[in-house]
Amino acid sequence: MIMIIILKILLDLMTIEQPFLPSSIDTAIIGAGPHALTLVAHTLQKSKKFHHKFLVFDPSGAWLNQWAHQFNAFQIPHLRSPVVHHPESNAFALRAFAEKRQAELFEPYDLPGTQLFQDFCTEVVHRWQLATKIYPSLVTHLEILEQGYQLRLSEGRSIKARRVVLAHRGGTPYWPEWAIAALTNCPVNRLQHSSQIDLRQVQVNGDRILIVGGGLTSGHLAIGATQSGAQVTMMHRRQFYDKLFDADPGWLGPKYLKGFEANRNWAERFDLVKNARNGGSLTPAVMNQLRQAEKIGKLNFLENCQVQQAIWQQDRWLVTCHNHQQLEFDRIWLATGTQLNIHQEPLLAELQNKYPTEIFGGLPVLDAHLRWPGSQVFLMGGLAALRVGPTARNLSGARMASDRIVPALTKASVCLTPRP
């Protein structure tokens, strides 16, 4: 009897400690990163009433938690996007915020420092009173109801919503086939994807590290590793090259977007998205640091080369390239990015079955307001690229996505039963 009473008290305490969760909400936003914050700030700018109509779901329970972790883990000093790209609707808001912190705007084009941008976003959260709008839980399942949707949460609770916005980081880490095969017989942390690496914690002094990939992530990892005393080899299937932005600035306005939006051949649109990003690039500033490391013998570039096989033997990696060249390393880091594929998004499995839509290169064809056709589920980020364009996953893409979604959240005149 006493044991039953104790268990009941413990259960009551657990219930009390859980944050409040309403039975239903008008709009559920999944994810608390820059895209979600941009959407919320833009929507509140149009309608203050929206503050009582939405709830954000993120396991961390905090805004931009994953974003901050990634930037800090890779020791990234500043953003790649200029100062005009940020969550607020006023393009000059971040510049005004940085008035007394000009040293944190980096050349060229005033790229905001990592801490400056994070502090600005904190101010946005405070100004719009958004700190209490996040429920700390992972959404594990999205069920279609006769009216609306039911979100099942990781702790077993659930909530109904009339509309749902997927603003979480899409995509899964890409592992080449040779790397998957190599994982079966190597010690922990000797073969890692960039998403698993925190430069603040790794001990690599004296290690020989192979970094696979040609994008900006590979550059940040290489700089951090060389500064920690490692000997780094950067390998890319093509040649390494540098450019200021990951997509031409013409994709931010009508120069390229006008023709893109007029094109109704979705396969061609996918090719435009893919080719515009061109598999990743380094910024001139990062390339300069890498060349300096190369000059003093801490780093070397291995271009037009692909790993064919990696075998862990005698406490080291024996790596064979496609040209039969063999190299030895102590660690392998994969800066191979993520794959965006709607078929690998479990939250949308039921939606895909009930409301099929065309899919090209893993990306769905959404309506003009970024809704899954026939539903009230909106997508932001890379999965919306067939509508938004090549910068869909960037800060500029968050703004463009918000411009499309906000009218559907605030105007009664927008059709509630959209068609493709």
Task: Provide the H-helix boundaries in 128-206.
Answer: 177-182
Residues lower than pLDDT 50 in the chain: 1-7, 9-17, 417-420
Strand 149-153 relative to strand 111-112, pairing:
unpaired
User: At residue 101, what is the residue type?
Assistant: R
Nearest one of 419, 416, 398, 411 to 38, comparing CA atoms:
398
The pLDDT value recorded for residue 415 is 52
Burial class of residue 19 in the structure, from the number of CB atoms within 10 Å of its CB (0-12 exposed, 13-18 middle, 19+ buried): exposed
Write out the CATH class of domain 174-243+281-336: alpha beta
| Rounded alpha-carbon distances, angstroms, from residue 215 to 111, 239, 269 | 18, 11, 22
- Cα Rg of the chain, angstroms: 23
Cut 0.85: pTM above it: yes
Dump strand ranges (E) for 167-201.
172-173, 191-193
Residues 405, 415: contact at Cβ < 8 Å?
Answer: no
Residues 216, 280: contact at Cβ < 8 Å?
Answer: yes
Q: Where in the chain is the domain with CATH 3.50.50.60?
A: 21-171+340-410, 174-243+281-336
Calpha distance 121→110 (Å, rounded): 17
Give Cα 352 distance to the centre of its chain.
22
Task: Provide the H-helix boundaries in 47-163.
Answer: 65-73, 93-97, 114-127
- In this structure, whether the domain defined by 21-171+340-410 belongs to CATH 3.50.50.60 is answered with yes
- HSE-up (13 A, CA, CB side) for residue 389: 28
The length of the chain is 420
> What residues contact 55, with CB distance under 8 A and at least 6 apart?
22, 25, 27, 28, 29, 133, 134, 135, 159
| Rounded alpha-carbon distances, angstroms, from residue 17 to 12, 96, 157, 314, 331 | 9, 40, 14, 51, 43
Nearest one of 139, 144, 167 to 21, comparing CA atoms:
139
The pLDDT value recorded for residue 411 is 87
Over the stretch 258-312, which tens digit does the pLDDT of each residue have?
A: 999 999 999 999 999 999 988 789 999 999 999 999 999 999 999 999 999 999 9
Give Cα 126 distance to the centre of its chain.
23
The pLDDT value recorded for residue 135 is 98
Nearest one of 64, 72, 75 to 33, comparing CA atoms:
64
Calpha distance 75→63 (Å, rounded): 20
Tokens of 379: 């997508």
Residue 271 φ/ψ, nearest 5 degrees: -60, -40
